[in-house]
Amino acid sequence: MSVESHEGVHRHPAPTSFIRKYIFSVDHKVIGIQYIILALVAVLVGMTMSLLMRLNLSWPPPHSWPILETLFPTGAPGGVMTPEFYLSLVTMHGTIMVFFVLTTAPQGGFGNYFLPIQIGAEDMAFPTLNMLSFWVTLVGFIVILLAIFAEGNQSVGQWFAALGPSFAGGSGTVGPIGGWTGYAPLSALGKIAGPGQGAGMNLWVISIAIFCVGSLLGALNFITTLLNMRTKGMSLMRMPLTCWAWFTTAVLALLSFPVLLGGGILLLLDRIAGTSFFIPSGLYVSGLLSGTNPNFPLHTGGSPILWQHLFWFFGHPEVYIAILPGMGATSHILSTFARKPVFGYRAMVFAIFAIGLLGFFVWGHHMFISGMSPYSAIAFSVLTLSIGVPSAVKTFNWLGTLWGARIRFTTAMLFALGFVSLFVAGGITGLILGQSSLDLAMHDTYIVTAHFHLVMGVASIFGMFAALYFWFPKMFGRFMNEKIGKLHFWLTFIGVYAIFVPMHIMGIVGMPRRYASFGEYEFLRTLHPLVLLVSVAAIITITAQLIFYFNLIWSVFKGEKAGDNPWEATTLEWTTATPPPHDNFAGVLPTVYHGPYEFAVPGAPKDYVMQTEAEADVPSGNGHNGHKH
């Protein structure tokens, strides 16, 4: 009988074997690190792809890269990339970056590691489910890697063809060519739609579906843990903003991934079971009319726009899934190194929620050029622009936090400041692109590429860099090297602006995105120096990341040793040992008496008050709201 009572939640003994400790671990901290490692591997793949794209754009055919021919004999015959090969790079770069980097590291990585500690729990609510969530996600990643080989390699392609005609691969690409959005009807037709659309597309859909399941398992764990496992005294409004961000992100994932999963199931049925959910009547593709050829059976009644609706209903919340944890980390780190409470804590919480909520009603702004009714477009426009309000609240509060502060310029702080800069710089074009009339002209140009890379790509990554430099001492007991870190920051910060600012200009001139080369267009030839500049900046920035990888690995083993609270921060993760023990608090859960950002409290003995410091030790502070009492 007593055995049954343990069935409840948590409390698992510390594992002893290597496999249970580091591989199939149920410890949220190990799982968090596993997610971060997954992201660090995935980002290398994604970055290599962007490098190849830049090479092709700045040294276009007939320039030849002999190494490409060695690697991809059919994708780059004679060392010259085929346009299809380029498009598959675009697709896989986007897919891998969005799903396996921007969704895994911020939420699965740092969220897993620090959410339970910051709320004073000994683990997630369902540790086994947590482990499952990581391994399912890893399977998704392996499947997307298979797509590269199934299309890129003839013999692997033939092996996949044995699974059925729709799995034929080996077309000389590195995956499907439909973009990370997998737009129907081409994505729904199978191999007649062109190179990469056989095995590559099937594996793409399967990978995404698997990823959805993994993310859902993670999300439900986050939500239950946060709602039910906060320690004594940790009321909702005493949680660090990071926890609010991870929680909101989990809610977004919970409500948006099932929609993509449903859409993905239907897309897969269209591809392998011959249904027509996303395939319209009378479709003419690759010189064939639907129903006139055994390879292209009759399809009726489907709607390709429907896929766009389902995809973007997921896709827009997804960009907030990527960036909200970065916002949380930035708020947390700015306050710590400004030695000031977060300005307007409550407003920050509501802004996070408002951004999350509004994120569900703006998916149409990705579809202004799909032929939607102008009335819907106006509604989507207005809702989109209204996201500017909570975004501005956050920005002003960040600036308010910094106002009059004696800032400690650590690498983590620099990256947090970089986040604010990139969020503003990238977000400002959102106000332009969010207006349907302007978007009609600009949608398929480089300005969109520039916009979303700055705001959801690079800004999120900066949030993660800030988080890593900040929490690294807690995770590994050593600091990352600050000198190399600052070099990494400045190279990356200047680098990304050098890459993406020129892209805005290209977009306004009218350079279309996703094109493999521009040689045929007279008016774009004058832009070639800019294209070259972007590529050189990209190569330098990517090289700077190798410095980061070196610093990371070197610091794990050789970094300067860190104490329990090296940054003089206030939240619960800094009250426990470094690195935290298996159950986080060595058997005694902390009790919380303070808000999360009580810096510079008048009359307090130090310039910060830990959340766990009891009343007797400290005079009543000015709270974390910045209110005067």
Task: Specify the residue for token string 């055994």.
Answer: 294
- For another protein, which is the closer residue by CB, 266 or 524? 266
Query: How deeply is 77 buried, as exposed, middle or buried, from its count of CB atoms within 10 A (0-12, 13-18, 19+)?
Result: middle
Looking at residue 233, the DSSP 8-state letter turns out to be T
Angle at alpha carbon of residue 540, lines to 537 and 544, rounded to 5°? 135
- For another protein, which is the closer residue by CB, 276 or 445? 276
- For another protein, which is the closer residue by CB, 126 or 462? 126
Cβ 342 to another protein, closest distance in Å?
A: 12
Task: Specify the residue for token string 């959005």.
Answer: 181
- For another protein, which is the closer residue by CB, 335 or 445? 335
Q: Which of 347, 361, 464, 458 is CA-nearest to residue 395?
A: 347
Cβ 351 to another protein, closest distance in Å?
A: 17
- For another protein, which is the closer residue by CB, 63 or 346? 346
CA-derived radius of gyration, the chain: 25
Angle at alpha carbon of residue 33, lines to 29 and 36, rounded to 5°? 140
Cβ 224 to another protein, closest distance in Å?
A: 5
Cβ 215 to another protein, closest distance in Å?
A: 10
Cβ 468 to another protein, closest distance in Å?
A: 28
The helix (run of H) or strand (run of E) holding residue 288 is strand 288-289
Looking at residue 459, the DSSP 8-state letter turns out to be H
According to the 3-state scheme, what is the secondary structure of 84-138? HHHHHHHHHHHHHHHHHHHCHHHHHHHHHHHHHHHCCCCCCCCHHHHHHHHHHHH
Pairing of strands 288-289, 284-285: antiparallel
DSSP secondary structure string for all residues of 309-346: HHHHHHHHHHHHHHHHHHHHHHHHHHHHHHTSPPTTHH
- For another protein, which is the closer residue by CB, 560 or 617? 617
- For another protein, which is the closer residue by CB, 247 or 452? 247
What region does 120 belong to: left with phi over 0, alpha with psi -120 to 50, or beta?
Answer: left
Whether cis (ω within 30° of 0) applies to the bond prior to 473 is no
- For another protein, which is the closer residue by CB, 78 or 164? 164
- For another protein, which is the closer residue by CB, 406 or 627? 627
Cβ 356 to another protein, closest distance in Å?
A: 14
Backbone angles phi, psi at 288, to 5 degrees: -120, 145
- For another protein, which is the closer residue by CB, 300 or 543? 300
Looking at residue 606, the DSSP 8-state letter turns out to be S
Can you tell me whether residue 286 is helix, strand or coil?
A: coil
Cβ 436 to another protein, closest distance in Å?
A: 21
Cβ 510 to another protein, closest distance in Å?
A: 33
Cβ 574 to another protein, closest distance in Å?
A: 19
Cβ 160 to another protein, closest distance in Å?
A: 24
Query: Amino acid identity, residue 596?
Result: P
- For another protein, which is the closer residue by CB, 301 or 404? 301
* Angstrom distance (rounded) from CA 48 to CA 159: 26
Cβ 222 to another protein, closest distance in Å?
A: 9
The helix (run of H) or strand (run of E) holding residue 393 is helix 388-402
Query: How deeply is 573 buried, as exposed, middle or buried, from its count of CB atoms within 10 A (0-12, 13-18, 19+)?
Result: buried
Angle at alpha carbon of residue 604, lines to 599 and 608, rounded to 5°? 25
Cβ 82 to another protein, closest distance in Å?
A: 34
Can you tell me whether residue 289 is helix, strand or coil?
A: strand
- For another protein, which is the closer residue by CB, 75 or 263? 263
